Amino acid sequence: MILLFILGLPLMAALISALPLGRRVAPAVTVATCVAVLVLTVAAALRVVAGESVVTIRNWIAIDGLSALILLLVATVGSTAALFSWGYIAREKSSRHLRRYYANYNLFVFAMLSVPMLDEPNLVWTGVELTTILSVYLVAFENTGEALEAAWKYSVLTIMGGAIALLGFLALYAATRGRYAEGAYTWRTLIVLAPGVSPRVLETAFVLILVGFGAKAGLVPLHTWLPDAHSQAPSPICALLSGIKTTVILYVILRLIPVLNSSGKIDVDEWAMVVGLFSVGIAAFLIIQVTDYKRLFAFSTVEHMGIILTAAGIGGAAGHYGAVYQILNHTLTKSFCFFAAGATLLAVDTRQIADVRGLIRTSPPAGVALLFGGIAIAGAPPLAVFLSEFSILRSGIAKQHYVATALLAGFVIVAFFGILYHLNRMVFGQPDPAIESAAPIRLPVSCVLTLILAAAPIIILGVYMPEPLHKLLLMAADGLTR
């Protein structure tokens, strides 16, 4: 039952947000719902960790370790981004736009919650399509020429990807049809039946889904829409898109890795490593030449999607653990980065790196947040991303993938210096005298609160891993192995 509540609450909140009940109601309802969903997902995840099976409708709606982790992350970022929206979107004068924003926000969260919960692969495709379609307006929300351009590129490329992936899903279904009990077509069934499927068909289906959903997850070379959409959308939406939406879609691709591995005749690890490294490499060098700090973080998302896929390709228990650990840390850190970027945007009202100098003096909270976000996402010790990247590199050496590991390490270092080079110039440096003499800009309370709440897990996970979370990660990694 718990899973149905998790799905139902955002739908109800979307309905209430759409009603004209005053400017405060929609944000309050959205935050309350998202926090309630977070509490419920924590409860569900704890049950998974305790070894109970959380099944609401057998073969249709159920979660295991891997999906519990993704569900937890969706609910976490959903809550922090809702809180950040409260102060950030309040600038919008039209109450109608405000209501539409929150109604759409809740629907988007609903779609993302549905993906890890669904157990029938074809329905998962529908869920993924919904995440795309329901976020198009959120990207276009600011209704400027640039925002519409970004929304256009985003919708066309990612919906095209969805249509290509559809054929892949139908092929998977067709290849295994009739060899399981009526109505029992699930991810698990696919793994069990994969050895009997012609490897050629299985590989074709995988490539169709990799290309199609790769476009949605921002894997190179179909990543071109990502920096546009993830920079033009309102910052809380960027946090959702970059922090978790790309991960939710990568999760679907990762689900296929054990299927292909159980077939035993296809080298899926090689596919994952090559595509992953390609994304990391291209993104690392693109980071160096950005001129817009939100695009900087967007390219870093492409890089991290590549790192996760590479880790999944390195394989073995250690590689898979590195992949899920990186998913956890990337989501928490990247959403924080976009909150910091949103705070900076509120403080300086420009997205250009070159126009921002001495942020730490003109707006200390935004400056500190941006610096912390940059250091954390670049992977500096002792923060969380450093630990997961280090564990991935170590698993690569242990599995004797020396070339891949060396390339990965090289690209990560290039990205590290690229990110810090840009942020260093923004945060320190001599501010424009005109700006410096002006009164410091006050950030909305909800934004500052979000920054503090979102920073806490990044710091804590760097030094301490709670036992249930560790267990959940192990179970999730196990889901990639078998």
Partner 1 sequence: MANSNALLTSLNGLAAGLFLMSSFGLAATRQMQGCLRFYITQSICLVVSALLLGLGLHAPDLLAVAVLDAVVKPIVIPVLLRRTVPEAVFRRREIAQVLNIPSSLLIALALTLLAYFLSGYLPPATGSLASINLPVGLAGLFIGVYTLTVRREAVPQLIGIFGIENGALLCGFAIASGLPLVIEMAFPFDMLIIALVIGILTRMTHERVGTTEVGGFTSLREGIGK
Binding site for partner 1 (CB under 8 A): 120, 122-123, 126, 129-130, 133, 136-137, 140, 143-146, 148-153, 155-156, 159-160, 163-164, 166-167, 170-171, 173-175, 177, 183, 198, 200-201, 203-204, 227-228, 231-232, 286, 289-291, 295
- Specify the residue, 229 or 480, whose C-beta has the smaller distance to partner 1: 229
Positive or negative torsion for Cα 82, 87, 90, 91: negative
- Other beta carbons within 10 Å of 400: 9
Q: How far is the CB of 364 from partner 1 (least distance, A)?
A: 30
What are the b/e assignments for 212-239, b being 16+ CB within 10 Å?
Answer: bbbbbbbbbebbebbbbbbbbbbbbbbb
CA atoms of 437 and 425, how far apart (whole Å): 20
Q: Is the dihedral of CA 402, 404, 407, 413 positive or negative?
A: negative
> Which residues pair with residue 352 across a beta bridge?
292
Is the distance from CB of 6 to CB of 117 less than 8 angstroms?
yes
Q: Which is nearer to partner 1, 99 or 153 (CB)?
A: 153
Cα separation, 205 vs 193, in Å, equals 15
H-run or E-run covering 441: none
The distance of closest approach from Cβ of residue 129 to partner 1 in the complex, given in angstroms and rounded to an integer, is: 5
Q: How far is the CB of 160 from partner 1 (least distance, A)?
A: 6
Distance, in Å, from the CA atom of 175 to the CA atom of 257, rounded to the nearest integer, reads: 17
Neighbours of 200 (CB within 10 A): 10
* Smaller CB separation from partner 1, 37 or 290: 290
Nearer to partner 1 by Cβ, of 201 and 397: the residue is: 201
What is the distance between the alpha carbons of residues 368 and 339, in angstroms, rounded to a whole number? 12
**228 or 389: whose CB is closer to partner 1?**
228
Contact 283, 224 (CB under 8 A): no
Nearest approach, Cβ of residue 176 and partner 1 (Å): 9
Cβ at position 151, least distance to partner 1 in Å: 6
Nearest distance in Å: CB 7, partner 1? 15
Type and span of the H or E element at 400: none
Cβ at position 167, least distance to partner 1 in Å: 4
Q: How far is the CB of 191 from partner 1 (least distance, A)?
A: 18
Nearer to partner 1, 53 or 144 (CB): 144
Kindly state the smallest distance separating residue 305's Cβ from partner 1, in Å.
Answer: 19
**CA angle (94 as vertex; 91, 100 as ends), nearest 5:** 100
Is residue 127 within 8 A of residue 118, CB to CB? The reply is: yes
Coil, strand, or helix at residue 186? coil
CA distances to 300, 334, 352 from 288, in Å: 11, 18, 14
Nearer to partner 1, 210 or 376 (CB): 210
Q: Which helix (H) or strand (E) holds 142?
A: none
CB of 67 to partner 1, least distance (A): 19
The two most distant CA atoms of the chain are separated, in Å, by 74
Omega before 221 within 30 of 0, i.e. cis: yes
* Residue 382, preceding peptide bond in cis (omega within 30° of 0): yes
CB of 265 to partner 1, least distance (A): 14
Q: How many CB atoms lie within 10 A of CB 432?
A: 14
Q: Which residue in 86, 148, 141 sits closest to 108, CA to CA?
A: 141
Q: Determine which helix (DSSP H) or strand (DSSP E) holds 219, and give its type and residue range.
A: none
Least separation, in Å, of the C-beta of 352 and partner 1?
9
| Cβ closest to partner 1, residue 60 vs residue 390 | 60
Return phi, psi of residue 292, to 5°: -125, 125
